Amino acid sequence: MELKQLDKQYIANTYARFPVELTHGKGSQVWDEQGKAYIDMGSGIGVTAFGIADDAWQKAVTEQLGKLQHMSNLYYTEPCALLAQQLCERTGMKKVFFCNSGAEANEGMIKTARKYAAEHKGSEYSTIVTLVNSFHGRTITTLAATGQAHYHELFQPLTPGFVHAPANDLETVKKAALDNKAGAVMIECIQGEGGVIPLKKEFVTGLAAFCAEEGLLLLVDEVQTGNGRTGALYAYMNYGVQPDIISTAKGIGGGLPLGAVLFGEKTEFTLGAGDHGSTFGGNPVCCAGALSILNRIDDSLLAEVREKSEMIFRKLQGAPGIEDVAGMGLMIGVKTVKPAADVLKACMEKGVLCLTAKDRVRLLPALNIPMALLEQALDVILEAAKP
Ligand SMILES: *Cc1c(COP(=O)(O)O)cnc(C)c1O
């Protein structure tokens, strides 16, 4: 049977796939089954941080694969401990819990916030305030955290204990937190799935100050914004605040499933033995790959990300058919006059793979995409967006 037919018959209908079968790639280029080449401006939704089949990542992964692919969390293994050390040393956080995805990292963050609030404020402080238009995952609890009603409708009842307040409206968020006896506030510094919308600096710093004063935890979902994506190691660093808990996933594993919850001073001892766990979490192969990724997200790589970002803004802002460019680093949302889906289709025909987020064309290229390839992709996007 032809592959597209086979997929349609046997894969659950949850994905509206593009009519393209990709077979292999290298760096920021990927090929389909007919040998057509594409420039990859989506990196698997910000996952392949250093591109496809990256040499150093592949070496780290295959070396670990030949030594020990899994042993369960009943025993010590080296890659996860080294990765946790590096994550803590570079963020000021104190401890790490490893899991396998963004939603799972957020579940760990939410569980910890609930336990902390019960221990420090009382069990009635279980509510968490999240922002309207946020996205935190697709489990029953992270859907409840997600501030977009259309994700909720078909899956009631969701986990109780979440209230949504408008982003960038500090007074309303404070009121929602106090009125509902919230124990924590959870944000994405840039709403990714929501349309690549960065939060305002005054809002984030004001929120961090409010949380500190009232004894609420500040939870930052860095699943999409983390690991160099925004030109800082984590997006909160662009705002000058220190979260109490951070969740991350997507880019950290370089293409293998890995999520992490980072606990700060207040919460490092909140979870005790038996409170939480994951069979696959901290898998040595995923962590060895992640170490090779994180090791290379250094100051010079981050400066390159910012330089490429400036180039994107320069080239796209004010161009014909382009209404607005928003985002940070290599996490960019482009509002086009034409529907984003039409721009995507035209780009695909011309050999450039982009993403959408709400009504925007979303660009999440590999952090190390060569400048020349990036410029080539932008020329195609500009042409596709022209009215
Ligand atoms: C993608 C994403 C998630 C969910 O991650 P999964 O790995 O798909 O579970 C959660 N939060 C944010 C901000 C995301 O972008």
Are both 102 and 227 inside the same structural domain? Answer: yes
Q: Is the pLDDT of residue 1 over 80?
A: no
Given the CA of residue 222, which atom of ligand 1 is nearest to it?
Answer: 13
Q: How far is the CA of 348 from the centre of ligand 1 (A)?
A: 24
Are both 144 and 271 inside the same structural domain? Answer: yes
pTM: 0.98
Q: Which of 264, 294, 324 is at the close of a domain?
A: 294
Are both 186 and 259 inside the same structural domain? Answer: yes
Are both 41 and 73 inside the same structural domain? Answer: no
Q: How far is the CA of 137 from the centre of ligand 1 (A)?
A: 5
What is the model's pLDDT at position 304? 98
- Residue with the smallest CA separation from ligand 1 atom 8 is 102
Q: How far is the CA of 41 from the centre of ligand 1 (A)?
A: 18
Q: How many CA atoms lie within 13 A of 198 on its CB side?
A: 17
Ligand 1 pocket by C-beta < 6 Å: which residues?
Answer: 101-103, 106, 135-137, 188, 192-193, 221, 223-224, 249-250
Given the CA of residue 259, which atom of ligand 1 is nearest to it?
Answer: 7
**Average pLDDT for the chain:** 98
What single string gives the DSSP state of each residue in 12-65? -TT----S--EEEEEBTEEEETT--EEEESSHHHHT-TT-BT-HHHHHHHHHHH
Q: How many folded domains does the chain comprise?
A: 2
Given the CA of residue 104, which atom of ligand 1 is nearest to it?
Answer: 9
Q: Which of 294, 323, 343 is at the close of a domain?
A: 294
Nearest to 245 by CA among 259, 225, 230, 261: 261
CATH number for the domain harbouring residue 112:
3.40.640.10
Give residue 35's region: left, alpha or beta (phi > 0; psi -120 to 50).
left
Are both 50 and 61 inside the same structural domain? Answer: no
Q: Helix, strand, or coil here: 325?
A: strand
What's the rounded Cα separation, in Å, for the pair 253 and 233? 14
What is the model's pLDDT at position 365? 98
Mean pLDDT of 90-114: 98
Q: How far is the CA of 4 from the centre of ligand 1 (A)?
A: 27
Residues 6 or more apart whose Cβ sits within 8 Å of residue 281: 73, 97, 98, 99, 100, 104, 259
Given the CA of residue 224, which atom of ligand 1 is nearest to it?
Answer: 15
CATH number for the domain harbouring residue 318:
3.90.1150.10
Residues 6 or more apart whose Cβ sits within 8 Å of residue 82: 287, 291
What is the model's pLDDT at position 220? 99
Are both 264 and 281 inside the same structural domain? Answer: yes
When pLDDT is cut at 50, 70 and 90, the band that residue 117 belongs to is: very high
- Residue with the smallest CA separation from ligand 1 atom 6 is 102
What is the model's pLDDT at position 58? 98
Mean pLDDT of 219-236: 98
- Ligand 1 pocket test, pick from 110, 223, 230 with the greatest ligand atom count within 8 Å of Cβ, gives 223
Are both 258 and 314 inside the same structural domain? Answer: no
The model's pLDDT over 123-151, given as tens digits with 9 standing for 90+, comes to 999 999 999 999 999 999 999 999 999 99
- Residue with the smallest CA separation from ligand 1 atom 11 is 136
Are both 346 and 235 inside the same structural domain? Answer: no
Are both 116 and 250 inside the same structural domain? Answer: yes
Q: Which domain holds residue 321?
A: 3-54+299-385
Q: Which of 260, 294, 328 is at the close of a domain?
A: 294
Given the CA of residue 192, which atom of ligand 1 is nearest to it?
Answer: 15
How are the residues of the chain apportioned to helix, strand and coil, as percentages rounded to the nearest 5? 40, 20, 40
178: which 2 tokens?
Answer: 């106090």
Are both 245 and 262 inside the same structural domain? Answer: yes
The model's pLDDT over 297-348, given as tens digits with 9 standing for 90+, comes to 999 999 999 999 999 999 999 999 999 999 999 999 999 999 999 999 999 9
Are both 219 and 361 inside the same structural domain? Answer: no
50: which 2 tokens?
Answer: 């250093």
φ/ψ of 40, rounded to 5, equals: -95, 105
Number of residues that make up the chain: 387
One-letter amino acid of 1: M
228: which 2 tokens?
Answer: 């160099």
**Any long-range contacts for 67-75 (C-beta under 8 Å, 24+ apart)?**
67/284, 68/284, 69/283, 69/284, 69/285, 70/280, 70/283, 70/284, 70/285, 71/284, 72/279, 73/277, 73/278, 73/279, 73/281, 73/282
Are both 226 and 338 inside the same structural domain? Answer: no
The model's pLDDT over 26-78, given as tens digits with 9 standing for 90+, comes to 999 999 999 999 999 999 999 999 999 999 999 999 999 999 999 999 999 99
What is the model's pLDDT at position 146? 98
Q: What share of the chain in percent tops pLDDT 90?
A: 100
The model's pLDDT over 156-212, given as tens digits with 9 standing for 90+, comes to 999 999 999 999 999 999 999 999 999 999 999 999 999 999 999 999 999 999 999
Q: How far is the CA of 236 from the centre of ligand 1 (A)?
A: 17
What is the model's pLDDT at position 229? 98
